Protein backbone atom coordinates (compact mmCIF):
# COMPACT_ATOMS: atom_id res chain seq x y z
CA UNK A 1 0.00 0.00 0.00
CA UNK A 2 1.06 3.60 -0.48
CA UNK A 3 0.91 5.78 2.63
CA UNK A 4 1.00 9.55 2.17
CA UNK A 5 2.01 11.75 5.09
CA UNK A 6 1.11 15.45 5.18
CA UNK A 7 3.96 17.52 6.65
CA UNK A 8 2.93 21.18 6.99
CA UNK A 9 6.60 22.23 7.14
CA UNK A 10 9.77 20.35 6.37
CA UNK A 11 10.64 18.38 9.50
CA UNK A 12 7.16 17.94 10.97
CA UNK A 13 6.70 14.41 9.61
CA UNK A 14 10.29 13.47 10.43
CA UNK A 15 10.11 14.64 14.05
CA UNK A 16 6.77 12.93 14.74
CA UNK A 17 6.98 9.81 12.57
CA UNK A 18 10.63 8.99 11.96
CA UNK A 19 10.23 5.52 13.48
CA UNK A 20 6.79 4.81 12.01
CA UNK A 21 7.80 5.69 8.46
CA UNK A 22 10.82 3.38 8.79
CA UNK A 23 8.53 0.57 9.99
CA UNK A 24 5.96 1.09 7.21
CA UNK A 25 8.75 0.93 4.62
CA UNK A 26 10.13 -2.27 6.18
CA UNK A 27 6.66 -3.79 5.99
CA UNK A 28 6.75 -3.19 2.23
CA UNK A 29 4.62 -0.05 1.93
CA UNK A 30 5.62 2.97 -0.14
CA UNK A 31 5.67 6.28 1.76
CA UNK A 32 5.35 9.77 0.30
CA UNK A 33 5.80 12.82 2.51
CA UNK A 34 4.13 15.97 1.17
CA UNK A 35 5.98 19.01 2.53
CA UNK A 36 3.53 21.89 2.10
CA UNK A 37 4.73 25.32 3.26
CA UNK A 38 8.37 25.11 2.25
CA UNK A 39 9.20 28.71 1.32
CA UNK A 40 10.32 30.30 4.54
CA UNK A 41 12.78 32.54 6.29
CA UNK A 42 12.46 30.62 9.57
CA UNK A 43 15.75 28.93 10.42
CA UNK A 44 16.80 30.21 13.84
CA UNK A 45 19.86 27.95 14.05
CA UNK A 46 21.32 28.92 10.68
CA UNK A 47 23.35 31.91 9.49
CA UNK A 48 20.24 33.66 8.18
CA UNK A 49 20.66 36.54 10.63
CA UNK A 50 23.88 37.56 8.89
CA UNK A 51 22.16 38.02 5.53
CA UNK A 52 20.48 41.00 3.94
CA UNK A 53 16.67 40.87 4.21
CA UNK A 54 16.26 40.33 0.47
CA UNK A 55 18.39 37.19 0.52
CA UNK A 56 16.81 35.46 3.50
CA UNK A 57 13.93 33.58 1.89
CA UNK A 58 16.02 32.00 -0.85
CA UNK A 59 18.77 31.10 1.63
CA UNK A 60 16.48 29.51 4.21
CA UNK A 61 14.32 27.76 1.62
CA UNK A 62 17.46 26.17 0.17
CA UNK A 63 18.84 25.19 3.59
CA UNK A 64 15.59 23.51 4.52
CA UNK A 65 15.34 21.73 1.17
CA UNK A 66 18.75 20.19 1.89
CA UNK A 67 17.43 19.08 5.29
CA UNK A 68 14.55 17.12 3.70
CA UNK A 69 17.09 15.72 1.25
CA UNK A 70 19.36 14.63 4.13
CA UNK A 71 16.46 12.74 5.73
CA UNK A 72 15.51 11.14 2.41
CA UNK A 73 19.08 9.93 1.98
CA UNK A 74 19.26 8.69 5.57
CA UNK A 75 16.14 6.56 4.97
CA UNK A 76 17.71 5.59 1.67
CA UNK A 77 15.08 3.45 -0.05
CA UNK A 78 13.42 4.15 -3.40
CA UNK A 79 9.93 3.64 -1.99
CA UNK A 80 10.37 6.72 0.20
CA UNK A 81 9.78 10.04 -1.54
CA UNK A 82 9.31 13.66 -0.48
CA UNK A 83 7.19 16.07 -2.52
CA UNK A 84 7.79 19.81 -2.19
CA UNK A 85 4.69 22.00 -2.69
CA UNK A 86 6.75 25.20 -2.58
CA UNK A 87 4.02 27.21 -0.81
CA UNK A 88 4.98 30.23 1.33
CA UNK A 89 4.76 29.67 5.07
CA UNK A 90 2.41 31.73 7.23
CA UNK A 91 4.69 34.73 7.97
CA UNK A 92 5.44 35.17 4.24
CA UNK A 93 1.96 34.34 2.98
CA UNK A 94 -0.12 36.16 5.56
CA UNK A 95 2.39 38.91 6.41
CA UNK A 96 2.36 38.16 10.11
CA UNK A 97 5.06 37.82 12.74
CA UNK A 98 6.50 34.43 13.70
CA UNK A 99 4.72 34.79 17.06
CA UNK A 100 1.34 35.44 15.40
CA UNK A 101 0.99 32.11 13.62
CA UNK A 102 -0.80 30.30 16.45
CA UNK A 103 -4.54 30.13 17.10
CA UNK A 104 -5.65 31.65 13.81
CA UNK A 105 -8.44 30.23 11.66
CA UNK A 106 -7.35 27.93 8.83
CA UNK A 107 -6.30 29.64 5.62
CA UNK A 108 -8.75 28.81 2.83
CA UNK A 109 -7.04 30.79 0.06
CA UNK A 110 -7.51 29.28 -3.36
CA UNK A 111 -3.87 28.67 -4.20
CA UNK A 112 -3.14 26.88 -0.91
CA UNK A 113 -6.23 24.69 -1.09
CA UNK A 114 -5.73 23.85 -4.77
CA UNK A 115 -2.06 22.92 -4.42
CA UNK A 116 -2.49 20.67 -1.39
CA UNK A 117 -5.59 18.96 -2.81
CA UNK A 118 -3.90 18.36 -6.14
CA UNK A 119 -0.81 16.87 -4.48
CA UNK A 120 -2.96 14.48 -2.48
CA UNK A 121 -4.93 13.43 -5.56
CA UNK A 122 -1.69 12.89 -7.49
CA UNK A 123 -0.24 10.78 -4.67
CA UNK A 124 -2.92 8.11 -5.19
CA UNK A 125 -2.37 6.94 -1.63
CA UNK A 126 -4.19 4.02 -0.07
CA UNK A 127 -3.81 5.56 3.38
CA UNK A 128 -3.27 9.08 4.68
CA UNK A 129 -1.44 10.35 7.76
CA UNK A 130 -2.23 13.89 8.90
CA UNK A 131 -1.09 16.18 11.73
CA UNK A 132 -3.40 16.62 14.72
CA UNK A 133 -2.73 20.35 14.65
CA UNK A 134 -1.51 20.52 18.25
CA UNK A 135 -0.36 23.99 19.14
CA UNK A 136 -2.73 25.53 16.60
CA UNK A 137 -0.10 26.72 14.08
CA UNK A 138 -2.14 28.08 11.17
CA UNK A 139 -0.05 26.13 8.62
CA UNK A 140 -0.68 22.87 10.47
CA UNK A 141 -4.42 23.48 10.85
CA UNK A 142 -4.65 24.57 7.22
CA UNK A 143 -2.82 21.55 5.81
CA UNK A 144 -4.86 19.20 7.99
CA UNK A 145 -8.21 20.77 7.06
CA UNK A 146 -7.49 20.86 3.34
CA UNK A 147 -6.48 17.20 3.50
CA UNK A 148 -9.69 16.34 5.38
CA UNK A 149 -11.76 18.14 2.75
CA UNK A 150 -10.00 16.10 0.06
CA UNK A 151 -10.68 12.76 1.75
CA UNK A 152 -13.16 11.00 -0.49
CA UNK A 153 -14.93 8.67 1.93
CA UNK A 154 -14.87 7.31 5.45
CA UNK A 155 -13.56 4.11 3.84
CA UNK A 156 -10.13 5.71 3.37
CA UNK A 157 -7.65 4.63 6.05
CA UNK A 158 -6.48 7.74 7.89
CA UNK A 159 -4.33 8.32 10.95
CA UNK A 160 -3.28 11.45 12.82
CA UNK A 161 0.10 12.11 14.39
CA UNK A 162 0.99 14.28 17.35
CA UNK A 163 3.45 17.01 16.43
CA UNK A 164 6.79 17.07 18.22
CA UNK A 165 8.08 18.83 20.18
CA UNK A 166 4.62 20.44 20.55
CA UNK A 167 3.01 17.33 22.11
CA UNK A 168 5.62 17.37 24.87
CA UNK A 169 4.56 20.90 25.79
CA UNK A 170 0.87 20.00 26.04
CA UNK A 171 -0.01 19.70 29.70
CA UNK A 172 -2.45 16.89 30.31
CA UNK A 173 -4.01 14.55 27.81
CA UNK A 174 -7.28 16.53 27.83
CA UNK A 175 -6.04 19.02 25.24
CA UNK A 176 -5.07 16.20 22.88
CA UNK A 177 -8.33 14.34 23.55
CA UNK A 178 -10.33 17.46 22.65
CA UNK A 179 -8.61 17.71 19.26
CA UNK A 180 -9.08 13.97 18.64
CA UNK A 181 -12.82 14.23 19.39
CA UNK A 182 -13.20 17.05 16.86
CA UNK A 183 -11.29 15.13 14.20
CA UNK A 184 -13.33 11.98 14.82
CA UNK A 185 -16.42 14.01 13.87
CA UNK A 186 -14.66 15.26 10.75
CA UNK A 187 -13.74 11.76 9.56
CA UNK A 188 -16.98 10.19 10.84
CA UNK A 189 -15.18 7.42 12.67
CA UNK A 190 -14.05 6.69 16.17
CA UNK A 191 -10.33 7.46 16.41
CA UNK A 192 -8.33 5.12 18.59
CA UNK A 193 -4.75 5.57 19.77
CA UNK A 194 -2.18 3.11 18.48
CA UNK A 195 1.57 2.77 18.78
CA UNK A 196 3.60 2.70 15.59
CA UNK A 197 7.25 2.31 14.68
CA UNK A 198 8.38 0.16 17.59
CA UNK A 199 8.66 -3.08 15.63
CA UNK A 200 12.14 -4.07 14.52
CA UNK A 201 13.97 -1.98 17.11
CA UNK A 202 16.11 -3.74 19.69
CA UNK A 203 15.09 -1.55 22.64
CA UNK A 204 14.01 1.89 23.78
CA UNK A 205 17.58 3.22 23.59
CA UNK A 206 17.71 2.19 19.95
CA UNK A 207 14.46 4.05 19.29
CA UNK A 208 15.66 7.21 21.04
CA UNK A 209 18.93 7.13 19.10
CA UNK A 210 17.10 6.67 15.79
CA UNK A 211 14.78 9.59 16.53
CA UNK A 212 17.74 11.75 17.45
CA UNK A 213 19.49 10.92 14.15
CA UNK A 214 16.39 11.82 12.16
CA UNK A 215 15.80 15.06 14.08
CA UNK A 216 19.37 16.23 13.53
CA UNK A 217 18.77 16.29 9.77
CA UNK A 218 16.87 19.50 10.54
CA UNK A 219 19.44 21.36 12.58
CA UNK A 220 18.48 24.82 11.26
CA UNK A 221 15.16 24.34 13.07
CA UNK A 222 15.95 22.90 16.47
CA UNK A 223 18.63 23.18 19.12
CA UNK A 224 20.02 20.41 21.32
CA UNK A 225 17.23 20.81 23.91
CA UNK A 226 14.44 20.45 21.32
CA UNK A 227 16.24 17.51 19.70
CA UNK A 228 16.34 15.79 23.09
CA UNK A 229 12.64 16.52 23.68
CA UNK A 230 11.73 15.02 20.30
CA UNK A 231 13.92 11.93 20.75
CA UNK A 232 13.05 11.22 24.40
CA UNK A 233 9.30 11.54 23.87
CA UNK A 234 9.13 7.96 22.53
CA UNK A 235 10.21 6.58 25.95
CA UNK A 236 6.70 7.03 27.32
CA UNK A 237 5.48 4.61 24.62
CA UNK A 238 8.26 2.08 25.08
CA UNK A 239 10.17 3.35 22.06
CA UNK A 240 7.27 3.96 19.67
CA UNK A 241 5.20 6.84 18.31
CA UNK A 242 1.52 7.42 19.02
CA UNK A 243 -1.01 7.87 16.25
CA UNK A 244 -4.82 7.93 16.20
CA UNK A 245 -6.45 5.70 13.60
CA UNK A 246 -9.89 5.50 12.01
CA UNK A 247 -11.84 2.28 11.57
CA UNK A 248 -10.69 1.85 7.96
CA UNK A 249 -7.03 2.07 9.01
CA UNK A 250 -7.57 -0.54 11.71
CA UNK A 251 -9.45 -2.88 9.39
CA UNK A 252 -6.47 -2.80 6.99
CA UNK A 253 -4.26 -3.99 9.83
CA UNK A 254 -1.89 -1.10 9.30
Which positions touch Zn ion (CB under 5 A)? 8-9, 12
- CB atoms < 10 A from the CB of 122, how many? 12
Residue number, 8 or 165, with CB nearest to Zn ion: 8
Q: Give the whole-angstrom CA distance, residue 231 versus residue 242.
A: 13
- Helices marked H in the chain: 12-26, 53-75, 90-94, 110-123, 138-150, 166-169, 174-187, 204-215, 224-232, 247-251
| Nearest residue (CB) to Zn ion, 12 versus 84 | 12
C-beta of 12 vs 241, nearer to Zn ion: 12
Smallest distance from Zn ion to CB 135, Å: 9
Cβ at position 199, least distance to Zn ion in Å: 27
Query: Please, is 233 exposed, middle or buried when counting C-beta atoms within 10 Å of its C-beta (0-12, 13-18, 19+)?
Result: buried
Cβ-based nearer residue to Zn ion, 123 or 142: 142
Angstrom distances, CA of residue 116 to CA of 105, 152, 171: 17, 14, 31
The least CB distance from residue 1 to Zn ion, in Å, is 26
**Based on CB atoms, which residue is closest to Zn ion, 12 or 32?**
12
Give min distance, CB of 89 to Zn ion, in A: 8
175 and 161 Cβ atoms separated by less than 8 Å: no
Question: CB of 23: closest distance to Zn ion in angstroms?
Answer: 22
Task: Tell the smallest beta-carbon distance from residue 52 to Zn ion (Å).
Answer: 26
Cα 220 from Cα 223, distance rounded (Å): 8
Give whichever of 102 and 122 is closer to Zn ion, judged by the CB atom: 102
Which residue's beta carbon is nearest to the bound Zn ion? Answer: 9
Amino acid sequence: MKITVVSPHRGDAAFALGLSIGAWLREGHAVEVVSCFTRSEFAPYSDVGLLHRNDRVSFVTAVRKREDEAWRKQVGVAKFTITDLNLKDAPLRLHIGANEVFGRVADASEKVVAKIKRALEMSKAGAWVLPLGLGGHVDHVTARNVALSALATAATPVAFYEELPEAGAVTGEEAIDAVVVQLALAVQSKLEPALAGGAGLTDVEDAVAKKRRVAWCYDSQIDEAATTDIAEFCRRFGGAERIWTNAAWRSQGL
